[in-house]
């Protein structure tokens, strides 16, 4: 029996993605095959209970080096995971599920939340988000469109 073929998208080592359910129109993501789960820069992380289930409210600065643009987001927590940071420290982080849009494709991913203020990228796209969907061309970037700083700021005005 032949395996069903799924169309595989080729991406560069960094891409502009959107997280529509969180109100994040564009965020520059670095593809990180060393990370299992994707990670989003979040701060003012506040956990609470809604209808008996754990939820989280947090803020995001989606644009690098711009602290004026902020999005307040809320989501259900599906898990807590110990994640080892690039500095080698282990941290337990809340994990949510949300939609990711890249090019003309949209799918659900798991995303852990942590303060990435001092990191070069606001988001890391980990292996689980890539699996059976994306191939990486490590020598390329922004294969699904470049954005200028000005055009990204415009996305958040209005």
User: Is 158 among the domain residues?
Assistant: no
Under 8 Å between Cβ of 22 and 60: yes
User: Is 4 among the domain residues?
Assistant: no
pTM summary value: 0.89
User: Is 67 among the domain residues?
Assistant: yes
Mean local confidence (pLDDT), 73-95:
89
How many domains are there within the chain? 1
User: Is 1 among the domain residues?
Assistant: no
- Residue 7, pLDDT > 80, answer no
Looking at per-residue pLDDT, the higher value among 64 and 26 belongs to 26
Domain with 142, as residue range(s), is 9-152
Mean confidence (pLDDT) of the chain: 89
CATH number of the domain bearing residue 67: 2.40.70.10
Reported as a pLDDT band with limits 50, 70 and 90, residue 149 is: confident
User: Is 41 among the domain residues?
Assistant: yes
Reported as a pLDDT band with limits 50, 70 and 90, residue 110 is: very high
Q: Whole-angstrom Cα distance, residue 74 to residue 43?
A: 12
Residue 150: DSSP 8-state: H
User: Is 3 among the domain residues?
Assistant: no
Q: Whole-angstrom Cα distance, residue 77 to residue 57?
A: 10
User: Is 13 among the domain residues?
Assistant: yes
- Residue 103, pLDDT > 70, answer yes
User: Is 2 among the domain residues?
Assistant: no
Give the three-state DSSP class for 118.
coil
If one counts every other C-beta atom within 10 angstroms of the C-beta of residue 81, the result is 14
């Amino acid at each position: 029996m032949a395996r069903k073929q799924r169309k595989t998208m080729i991406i560069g080592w960094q891409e502009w993605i959107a997280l529509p359910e969180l109100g994040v129109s564009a965020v520059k993501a670095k593809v990180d095959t060393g990370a299992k789960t994707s990670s989003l820069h979040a701060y003012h992380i506040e956990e609470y209970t809604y209808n008996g289930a754990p939820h989280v409210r947090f803020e995001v600065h989606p644009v690098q080096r711009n602290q004026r643009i902020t999005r307040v987001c809320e989501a259900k927590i599906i898990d807590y995971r110990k994640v080892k940071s690039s500095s080698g420290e282990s941290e337990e982080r809340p994990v949510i599920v949300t939609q990711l849009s890249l090019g003309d494709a949209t799918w659900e991913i798991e995303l852990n939340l942590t303060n990435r203020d001092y990191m070069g990228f606001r988001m890391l796209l980990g292996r689980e988000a890539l699996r059976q969907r994306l191939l990486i061309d490590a020598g390329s970037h922004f294969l699904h469109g470049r954005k200028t700083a000005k055009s990204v700021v415009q996305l958040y005005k209005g």
